[in-house]
Amino acid sequence: MTGPARGVRLGVDVGQVRVGVAVSDPDGILATPLVTLARDLKTGIDGVPTDISEIARLVELHEVVTVVVGLPVTLAGGNGPAAQHATAYAQRVAAAVAPVPVDLVDERMSTVVASRRLAERGVRGRRQRAVVDQAAAVEILQSWLDRQRRRTG
């Protein structure tokens, strides 16, 4: 059985204020932090918010084959307002990066896990807030990569 196609994947953790972005290696084994973008709730000159334009630029720059956006499902497994917001964001990203596919993935607890891992490494307070979105994007992308490898085993 063959593994997933080669290519860089981009992970996105959508927040109200910031968007964390992570990237994988071309073999889809390891996710690493890339950047934190400020959310832009207004549209830019081209009608696209600057954070989404920047994601599209990163997709092109890194020759991304799939974008993975975290879907904040409730602990009970439902889709609340945050999940609806992330779904709408993913749709806007999909329009900006087409034909690159955008995959929504359950990201329950990714920010909690990312915060805990950062704290274990001694990253706290203001320093943690600056990178927690990237770390959450790493958690989202890494779990997606691991799941893909298990499926194609």
Whether residue 2 lies inside any domain: the answer is no
- Structure tokens belonging to residue 88: 């709408």
Q: How far apart are the first and last CA of the chain?
A: 7
Q: What's the alpha-carbon Rg for the chain, to the nearest Å?
A: 15
CATH code for the domain of 49: 3.30.420.140
pLDDT value at residue 66: 97
Query: Is the peptide bond between 72 and the residue preceding it cis, with omega within 30 degrees of 0?
Result: no
Maximum pairwise Cα distance, the chain: 47
Structure-block tokens of residue 145: 């990569």
The span from the CA of 104 to the CA of 116, in Å, is 23
Domain presence at residue 122: yes
Helix (H, G, I), strand (E, B) or coil at 12: strand
Whether residue 89 is contained in a domain is answered as yes
Buried-exposed string 111-122: b where 16+ CB fall within 10 A, e elsewhere: bebbbeebeeee
Q: Which secondary-structure segment (H or E) carries 97?
A: helix 81-97
Report how many domains make up the chain: 1
Mean pLDDT by 10 residues, the chain (153 residues): 72 93 96 94 78 96 97 79 92 97 82 63 61 85 91 72
The reply to whether 128 falls in a domain is yes
Q: Which domain holds residue 80?
A: 8-152
pLDDT digits (tens, 9 = 90+) for 30-71: 999 999 999 987 766 678 899 999 999 999 999 999 999 999
d(CA 118, CA 112): 10
**Could you tell me if residue 82 is inside a domain?**
yes
> Does 1 fall in a domain?
no
